[in-house]
Amino acid sequence: MKSDSLLMHKRDIRDLSYPELVTFLESLGQEKYRAGQVFDWIYKKGVEDFEAMLNLPQPLKEKLKEDFSFQALTMIQRNVAADQTTKFLFTLYDQQRIETVLIPAKDRATICVSTQAGCKFHCQFCASGIGGWDRNLTCAEIVSQILFVKKQCADGQPLSNIVFMGVGEPLDNYDALIKAIRLINSVEGTHLGARRITISTCGLVPQIKKLAKENIQVELAVSLHGSNNDARNVLMPVNKKYPVPDLIEACKEYIQTTNRQITFEYILIKGLTCTQQAAEELGQLLAGMTCKLNLIPYNPVAEFAHETPSKMEMLLFHDKLTRLGLHATVRMPRGRDAAAACGQLRHSHI
């Protein structure tokens, strides 16, 4: 038992960036190309065992085993929905639970990744915040979700997109998130194009400004969900700290610095968010911005009393926005029978 618990605390090697691994190996007197070999096994071949790294000398394998582990995640449940959306529930070394979703399409697959165990922001429609926040995920815990789920993709179904839309607020775990993105994006790592990676945020203004200067070509999605301060305060308490005008100003700055568009996510809740007034306010708020609007039908969570609008109401709201000159699309939910809305599966286990 004692050796088990010691093993638990051994650092997962997927916490190391490529330069960090090079430095570590050089400190052992190893050649730099060994780092490339290790990365190749981990990120290209998906190996989770130093012994299986056949082109490494035995003493180096032993040393790596001594210092590092592959223990970030243990899968404990897998729910497959009728549309093949698959939700994985994992435990971490400290018994925390996180969830990851695989959303397959005809010839590609998207992975929805968690960045925190729980969430601090208490959006009043989201299951992730109900149990509060426990801790940030490490870089290895973030990257391992992708490596694990990628292996589950059927043949001929390449991983095409990664969306940081699972449990937690990605920009509240900024350093681990950026490190994980660089591992996924780099030539030495998974080498997935940055434009195929989307970060979704509840609107943390300082981090949006910081991200603008990061020089990575990721997609940014901002959860707006309210067309003015009063409406947004009710649904997203984070608005009291970063109100709508400050958020929009940060988004404009982001668009200008990066020359990239922003996607605004906007939840459709019956009688609340899809009114004529909301449409007009959104039209004014987003006028002239390089952005699109993703309308997300509310996915029912037992703890909240909201209702999903009828299809007709959603289409009418979409139509109003289009007439006001906004580029809006309605995103139809996937995997409802796999409890695939943010945090639903995790929440059902705590």
Residue 185 binds ligand SAH (CB under 6 A): no
Task: In angstroms, give the least distance from the CB of 117 to ligand SAH.
Answer: 13
Let me know if 99 is a catalytic residue: yes
Q: Which residues of 120-138 are buried (b: 16+ CB within 10 A; e: fewer)?
A: bbebbbbbbbbbebbebbb
Residue 244 binds ligand SAH (CB under 6 A): no
Residue 298 binds ligand SAH (CB under 6 A): yes
- Segment contacting ligand SAH by CB under 6 A, of 41-49, 95-103, 122-130, 147-155: 122-130
Q: Which of 244, 296, 326, 328 binds ligand SAH (CB under 6 A)?
A: 296
Contact status, residue 89 vs residue 349, Cβ threshold 8 Å: yes
How many Cα atoms are found within 13 Å in the side-chain-facing hemisphere of 207? 18
Tokens of 59: 């003493």
φ, ψ (nearest 5 deg) of residue 328? -120, 145
Give the whole-angstrom CA distance, residue 96 versus residue 73.
10
Residues near 170 by beta carbon (within 8 Å), at least 6 away in sequence: 115, 164, 177, 199, 200, 201
Catalytic residue among 112, 139, 274, 342: 342
Nearest to 145, CA basis, from 167, 175, 171, 169: 167
Place of tokens 């549309």: 83
For every residue of 89-148, which 3-state class applies, written as one string? EEECCCCCEEEEEEEECCCCEEEECCCEEECCCCCCCCHHHCCCEEEECCHHHHHHHHHH
Give the whole-angstrom CA distance, residue 348 versus residue 350.
6
Let me know if 123 is a catalytic residue: no
Task: In angstroms, give the least distance from the CB of 61 to ligand SAH.
Answer: 39
Residue 208 binds ligand SAH (CB under 6 A): no
Residue 341 binds ligand SAH (CB under 6 A): yes
Catalytic residue among 99, 141, 169, 219: 99
Residue 103 binds ligand SAH (CB under 6 A): no
Residue 201 binds ligand SAH (CB under 6 A): yes
Task: In angstroms, give the least distance from the CB of 307 to ligand SAH.
Answer: 11
Give the whole-angstrom CA distance, residue 321 versus residue 276.
9
Give the whole-angstrom CA distance, residue 100 versus residue 89.
7
Q: How far out from the chain centre does Cα 180 lie?
A: 11
Residue 254 binds ligand SAH (CB under 6 A): no
Tokens of 111: 């992975």
**Contact track, ligand SAH, 13-52, x by CB under 6 A:** ----------------------------------------
- In the complex with ligand SAH, the residue whose CB is nearer, 36 or 243, is 243
- Segment contacting ligand SAH by CB under 6 A, of 9-17, 121-129, 184-192, 250-258: 121-129
Residue 202 binds ligand SAH (CB under 6 A): yes
Give the β-pairing of 109-112 and 328-330: unpaired
Residue 273 binds ligand SAH (CB under 6 A): no
- Segment contacting ligand SAH by CB under 6 A, of 33-41, 63-71, 293-301, 318-326: 293-301
Residue 174 binds ligand SAH (CB under 6 A): no
- In the complex with ligand SAH, the residue whose CB is nearer, 208 or 341, is 341
Active site residues: 99, 342
Please give the residue ranges that form the binding site for ligand SAH (CB under 6 A).
Answer: 123, 125-126, 165, 169, 200-202, 223, 265, 267, 296, 298-299, 301, 341-342
